[in-house]
Structure 1
Amino acid sequence: MNLGFPEIIMILVIALLVFGPKKLPELGKSLGQGIREFKKGTRSLQDDLSDSLKDPEPAPVPVTEKAS
């Protein structure tokens, strides 16, 4: 889905009509914070997943002494 300049302008005009000029900055700020939190959460989940998929290092074999 490609949004061009005319589509973005139309969305902004509709948002301005629906929410009003006083509420629009608050809405934009909340939307930005939500997007940031979502990206932060997905980044954290992706890091955790990639860490769990890495091959673990093999455990060292304990050396035991032979009984004589």
Structure 2
Amino acid sequence: MIAGMGMPELMVILLVVLVLFGPKNLPKLGKTLGETVKNVREGMEEDDTPKAARAAPAQDPKVSEASSDSDAQ
């Protein structure tokens, strides 16, 4: 039983999907749905990482000043 639905309800839903999309489009629909679920899961995992780990370290201002001074000479 999925979300309070039994086998008869799932069969009706499957039949409606088959009629709406046709047998030729079902593999494409399944592939797209699978890729979407995968992308959502990956996005959720990325969201779990701390912001400090994701943020790039700031460049030291002294290093950038030194490089711009050497470029000017």
What TM-score range do you get, normalising by the shorter chain?
0.5 to 0.7
Q: Could you report, residue by residue, the CA deviation over 1:30-62 in whole angstroms, capped at 9, with x for unpaired residues?
A: 10110111111112112x2xx35xxxxxxxxxx
Structure-2 separation of matches of 1:27 and 1:5: 22
Structure-1 separation of matches of 2:10 and 2:45: 28
Q: Map residues 1-68 of structure 1 onto 2, 5 A cutoff.
A: 1-46=3-48, 48=49, 51-52=50-51
* Higher helix content, 1 or 2: 2
Opposite residue 9 of structure 1, the aligned amino acid is: M
Opposite residue 5 of structure 1, the aligned amino acid is: M
- What is the root-mean-square deviation of aligned Cα atoms in Å? 1.5
Q: Which has the higher contact order (CA 8 A, sep 6+)?
A: 1
Opposite residue 42 of structure 2, the aligned amino acid is: K
Aligned residues with identical type, % of pairs? 37
Stretches of structure 1 that go unaligned for 5 or more consecutive residues are 53-68
Q: Which residue of 1 aligns with 2:67?
A: none
Opposite residue 5 of structure 2, the aligned amino acid is: L
